Amino acid sequence: MRLYVAKTAVIVGNWKMYKTGKDAVTFVKQLMPLVEDTKTKVGLAVPFTAISLAAKAAEGSDVLIGAQNMNDASEGAFTGEIAASMLKDAGATFVIIGHSERRKIFGESNEQINAKVIRALDEGMTPVFCVGETEEERESGHEEILESQIIDGLKGVSKDDLSKVIVAYEPVWAIGTGKTATPKIAQDAHLHIRNVLADSFGKTKAAKVVILYGGSVKPENAADLMKQKDIDGALVGGASLNPTTFADIVHFK
Protein backbone atom coordinates (compact mmCIF):
# COMPACT_ATOMS: atom_id res chain seq x y z
CA MET A 1 0.00 0.00 0.00
CA ARG A 2 1.32 3.45 -0.85
CA LEU A 3 0.71 6.87 0.65
CA TYR A 4 0.68 8.79 -2.62
CA VAL A 5 -2.37 8.59 -4.88
CA ALA A 6 -2.96 11.44 -7.29
CA LYS A 7 -5.80 13.70 -6.18
CA THR A 8 -6.75 11.54 -3.21
CA ALA A 9 -6.55 13.57 -0.01
CA VAL A 10 -3.55 12.69 2.15
CA ILE A 11 -3.27 13.55 5.85
CA VAL A 12 0.08 12.89 7.52
CA GLY A 13 0.71 13.28 11.23
CA ASN A 14 4.22 14.26 12.33
CA TRP A 15 4.77 13.39 15.97
CA LYS A 16 8.26 14.91 16.11
CA MET A 17 10.04 13.90 19.37
CA TYR A 18 6.96 12.74 21.24
CA LYS A 19 5.58 9.35 22.31
CA THR A 20 7.23 6.05 23.21
CA GLY A 21 6.60 2.77 21.45
CA LYS A 22 3.93 1.89 24.03
CA ASP A 23 2.26 5.27 23.46
CA ALA A 24 2.31 4.66 19.71
CA VAL A 25 0.55 1.31 20.01
CA THR A 26 -2.17 2.81 22.17
CA PHE A 27 -2.60 5.73 19.76
CA VAL A 28 -2.83 3.56 16.65
CA LYS A 29 -5.38 1.24 18.25
CA GLN A 30 -7.50 4.25 19.20
CA LEU A 31 -7.14 5.86 15.77
CA MET A 32 -7.91 2.90 13.53
CA PRO A 33 -11.67 2.67 14.20
CA LEU A 34 -11.95 6.45 13.92
CA VAL A 35 -10.64 6.54 10.34
CA GLU A 36 -11.68 3.19 8.92
CA ASP A 37 -14.55 4.66 6.90
CA THR A 38 -12.59 7.37 5.09
CA LYS A 39 -11.15 7.43 1.59
CA THR A 40 -8.46 9.84 2.76
CA LYS A 41 -4.96 8.38 2.90
CA VAL A 42 -3.66 8.48 6.47
CA GLY A 43 -0.02 8.40 7.53
CA LEU A 44 1.80 8.76 10.85
CA ALA A 45 5.46 9.80 10.96
CA VAL A 46 6.56 8.45 14.33
CA PRO A 47 9.90 8.39 16.21
CA PHE A 48 12.38 5.75 15.04
CA THR A 49 11.90 3.70 18.21
CA ALA A 50 8.14 3.48 17.64
CA ILE A 51 8.09 2.52 13.94
CA SER A 52 8.12 -1.24 14.36
CA LEU A 53 5.53 -1.32 17.12
CA ALA A 54 3.27 1.20 15.38
CA ALA A 55 3.48 -0.66 12.07
CA LYS A 56 2.55 -3.93 13.74
CA ALA A 57 -0.36 -2.27 15.55
CA ALA A 58 -1.59 -0.81 12.25
CA GLU A 59 -1.57 -4.13 10.36
CA GLY A 60 -4.85 -4.78 8.61
CA SER A 61 -5.78 -1.12 8.58
CA ASP A 62 -5.26 1.70 6.08
CA VAL A 63 -3.04 3.65 8.49
CA LEU A 64 0.50 3.85 7.10
CA ILE A 65 3.55 4.34 9.30
CA GLY A 66 6.54 6.44 8.29
CA ALA A 67 9.70 8.08 9.62
CA GLN A 68 10.67 11.69 10.20
CA ASN A 69 14.18 11.64 8.74
CA MET A 70 16.88 9.38 7.29
CA ASN A 71 20.47 9.39 6.10
CA ASP A 72 21.24 9.52 2.39
CA ALA A 73 23.79 6.67 2.57
CA SER A 74 22.77 3.05 2.14
CA GLU A 75 25.01 2.09 5.09
CA GLY A 76 28.32 3.06 6.64
CA ALA A 77 30.21 4.42 9.63
CA PHE A 78 27.68 7.12 10.53
CA THR A 79 27.16 6.86 14.27
CA GLY A 80 23.64 7.72 15.33
CA GLU A 81 22.21 7.75 11.80
CA ILE A 82 19.64 5.48 10.19
CA ALA A 83 19.30 4.18 6.64
CA ALA A 84 16.21 3.89 4.47
CA SER A 85 16.59 0.10 4.36
CA MET A 86 16.46 0.04 8.16
CA LEU A 87 13.30 2.14 8.17
CA LYS A 88 11.67 -0.19 5.65
CA ASP A 89 12.72 -3.21 7.71
CA ALA A 90 11.01 -1.65 10.73
CA GLY A 91 7.79 -1.15 8.77
CA ALA A 92 8.00 2.44 7.48
CA THR A 93 6.64 3.10 4.00
CA PHE A 94 7.35 6.82 3.77
CA VAL A 95 9.77 9.35 5.23
CA ILE A 96 9.62 13.10 5.85
CA ILE A 97 12.60 14.84 4.23
CA GLY A 98 13.70 18.45 4.56
CA HIS A 99 11.35 19.49 7.34
CA SER A 100 11.96 23.10 8.33
CA GLU A 101 13.27 21.99 11.72
CA ARG A 102 15.87 19.82 9.99
CA ARG A 103 16.85 22.76 7.80
CA LYS A 104 16.98 25.31 10.62
CA ILE A 105 18.14 23.38 13.69
CA PHE A 106 20.38 20.83 12.00
CA GLY A 107 21.53 22.96 9.10
CA GLU A 108 20.48 20.62 6.31
CA SER A 109 21.15 22.09 2.88
CA ASN A 110 19.17 21.66 -0.32
CA GLU A 111 21.95 19.38 -1.55
CA GLN A 112 21.71 17.10 1.48
CA ILE A 113 17.95 17.00 1.22
CA ASN A 114 18.20 16.16 -2.47
CA ALA A 115 20.48 13.22 -1.70
CA LYS A 116 17.93 11.92 0.80
CA VAL A 117 15.07 12.26 -1.69
CA ILE A 118 17.03 10.27 -4.28
CA ARG A 119 17.96 7.59 -1.73
CA ALA A 120 14.35 7.24 -0.53
CA LEU A 121 13.15 6.76 -4.11
CA ASP A 122 15.91 4.26 -4.82
CA GLU A 123 14.84 2.28 -1.74
CA GLY A 124 11.17 2.31 -2.74
CA MET A 125 10.04 4.69 0.00
CA THR A 126 7.77 7.68 -0.49
CA PRO A 127 9.60 10.93 0.32
CA VAL A 128 7.43 13.64 1.84
CA PHE A 129 9.61 16.50 0.59
CA CYS A 130 9.17 19.69 2.60
CA VAL A 131 9.66 23.24 1.36
CA GLY A 132 8.77 26.57 2.91
CA GLU A 133 9.88 30.06 3.80
CA THR A 134 10.60 31.91 7.03
CA GLU A 135 8.84 35.17 7.87
CA GLU A 136 11.91 37.15 6.80
CA GLU A 137 12.16 35.25 3.54
CA ARG A 138 8.49 35.83 2.85
CA GLU A 139 8.99 39.57 3.14
CA SER A 140 12.05 39.55 0.88
CA GLY A 141 10.75 37.27 -1.87
CA HIS A 142 9.53 33.84 -0.81
CA GLU A 143 8.77 32.65 -4.34
CA GLU A 144 12.48 32.55 -5.18
CA ILE A 145 13.16 30.62 -1.97
CA LEU A 146 10.54 28.03 -2.88
CA GLU A 147 11.89 27.75 -6.41
CA SER A 148 15.45 27.08 -5.25
CA GLN A 149 14.30 24.55 -2.65
CA ILE A 150 12.22 22.68 -5.21
CA ILE A 151 14.69 22.77 -8.10
CA ASP A 152 17.71 21.86 -5.96
CA GLY A 153 15.82 19.38 -3.80
CA LEU A 154 14.42 17.43 -6.75
CA LYS A 155 17.55 17.51 -8.89
CA GLY A 156 18.02 14.15 -10.59
CA VAL A 157 14.46 12.98 -9.96
CA SER A 158 13.03 11.55 -13.17
CA LYS A 159 9.66 12.56 -14.59
CA ASP A 160 8.35 9.09 -13.84
CA ASP A 161 9.55 9.20 -10.24
CA LEU A 162 8.02 12.62 -9.59
CA SER A 163 4.64 10.95 -9.08
CA LYS A 164 6.20 9.01 -6.19
CA VAL A 165 7.12 12.22 -4.35
CA ILE A 166 4.76 14.05 -2.02
CA VAL A 167 5.56 17.75 -1.61
CA ALA A 168 4.68 19.49 1.64
CA TYR A 169 4.51 23.27 1.80
CA GLU A 170 5.14 24.48 5.32
CA PRO A 171 5.35 28.24 5.86
CA VAL A 172 7.91 28.30 8.68
CA TRP A 173 6.27 31.36 10.16
CA ALA A 174 3.12 29.32 10.77
CA ILE A 175 4.66 26.22 12.39
CA GLY A 176 3.97 25.93 16.09
CA THR A 177 3.12 29.62 16.27
CA GLY A 178 -0.64 29.37 16.12
CA LYS A 179 -0.53 31.39 12.91
CA THR A 180 -2.00 29.82 9.82
CA ALA A 181 -1.75 30.98 6.25
CA THR A 182 -5.18 31.97 5.03
CA PRO A 183 -6.64 29.54 2.51
CA LYS A 184 -5.83 32.07 -0.23
CA ILE A 185 -2.22 32.50 0.88
CA ALA A 186 -1.82 28.73 1.10
CA GLN A 187 -3.45 28.19 -2.31
CA ASP A 188 -1.24 30.83 -3.94
CA ALA A 189 1.87 29.13 -2.56
CA HIS A 190 0.68 25.68 -3.67
CA LEU A 191 -0.11 26.96 -7.14
CA HIS A 192 3.36 28.51 -7.36
CA ILE A 193 4.90 25.20 -6.31
CA ARG A 194 2.90 23.35 -8.95
CA ASN A 195 3.96 25.86 -11.59
CA VAL A 196 7.63 25.41 -10.63
CA LEU A 197 7.16 21.65 -10.92
CA ALA A 198 5.48 22.14 -14.29
CA ASP A 199 8.46 24.13 -15.56
CA SER A 200 10.82 21.31 -14.62
CA PHE A 201 8.72 18.20 -15.24
CA GLY A 202 5.84 19.31 -17.47
CA LYS A 203 2.26 20.31 -16.68
CA THR A 204 0.86 16.78 -16.88
CA LYS A 205 3.31 15.38 -14.35
CA ALA A 206 3.00 18.41 -12.07
CA ALA A 207 -0.79 18.19 -12.02
CA LYS A 208 -0.58 14.71 -10.49
CA VAL A 209 1.77 15.62 -7.63
CA VAL A 210 0.23 15.51 -4.18
CA ILE A 211 1.01 18.78 -2.37
CA LEU A 212 0.27 19.00 1.35
CA TYR A 213 -0.11 22.08 3.49
CA GLY A 214 1.64 22.09 6.86
CA GLY A 215 1.41 24.91 9.37
CA SER A 216 -0.81 24.83 12.47
CA VAL A 217 -3.45 22.66 10.78
CA LYS A 218 -6.40 22.03 13.12
CA PRO A 219 -9.92 20.62 12.82
CA GLU A 220 -11.20 24.20 12.73
CA ASN A 221 -9.29 25.21 9.59
CA ALA A 222 -8.75 21.91 7.78
CA ALA A 223 -11.90 21.99 5.66
CA ASP A 224 -11.32 25.51 4.35
CA LEU A 225 -7.74 24.63 3.42
CA MET A 226 -8.74 21.40 1.68
CA LYS A 227 -11.29 23.22 -0.47
CA GLN A 228 -8.45 24.93 -2.34
CA LYS A 229 -7.73 23.56 -5.79
CA ASP A 230 -4.03 22.86 -5.32
CA ILE A 231 -4.07 21.71 -1.69
CA ASP A 232 -4.22 17.92 -1.66
CA GLY A 233 -3.90 17.26 2.05
CA ALA A 234 -2.08 18.26 5.20
CA LEU A 235 1.08 17.63 7.19
CA VAL A 236 -0.13 17.91 10.77
CA GLY A 237 2.13 18.58 13.75
CA GLY A 238 0.78 19.18 17.25
CA ALA A 239 -2.81 18.30 16.37
CA SER A 240 -1.69 14.80 15.35
CA LEU A 241 -0.73 13.89 18.93
CA ASN A 242 -4.34 13.31 19.94
CA PRO A 243 -6.15 10.53 18.04
CA THR A 244 -9.57 12.16 18.20
CA THR A 245 -8.30 15.56 17.06
CA PHE A 246 -6.27 13.95 14.29
CA ALA A 247 -9.27 11.91 13.15
CA ASP A 248 -11.34 15.09 13.01
CA ILE A 249 -8.79 16.51 10.56
CA VAL A 250 -8.89 13.31 8.50
CA HIS A 251 -12.67 13.75 8.28
CA PHE A 252 -12.28 17.37 7.20
CA LYS A 253 -15.37 17.36 4.99
Q: Tens of pLDDT along the chain (253 residues)?
A: 567 555 679 999 999 999 999 999 999 999 999 999 899 999 999 999 999 999 999 999 999 999 999 999 999 999 999 999 999 999 999 999 999 999 999 999 999 999 999 999 999 999 999 999 887 776 666 788 999 999 999 999 999 999 999 999 999 877 766 676 899 999 999 999 999 999 999 999 999 999 999 988 999 999 999 999 999 999 999 999 999 999 999 999 7
Q: What is the pLDDT of residue 56?
A: 98
CATH of domain 10-250: 3.20.20.70
For residue 27, which of 41, 9, 13, 48 has the smallest C-alpha distance? 13
Cα–Cα distance measured from residue 15 to residue 50, given in angstroms and rounded to the nearest whole number = 11
Domain assignments of the chain as residue spans, ordered by start: 10-250
Determine whether 25 is exposed, middle or buried from the number of CB atoms within 10 Å of its CB (0-12, 13-18, 19+). Answer: middle
Q: What is the pLDDT of residue 134?
A: 80
Catalytic positions are: 99, 170
Exposed e or buried b for every residue in 97-123, given b needs 16+ CB within 10 A?
bbbbbbbeeeebebebbbbbbbbbbeb
Q: What is the pLDDT of residue 7?
A: 62
Whole-prediction pTM? 0.95
Cα–Cα distance measured from residue 113 to residue 62, given in angstroms and rounded to the nearest whole number = 28
Cβ neighbours for 226, distance < 8 A, ≥ 6 positions apart: 9, 233, 234, 252, 253
Q: What is the pLDDT of residue 141?
A: 64
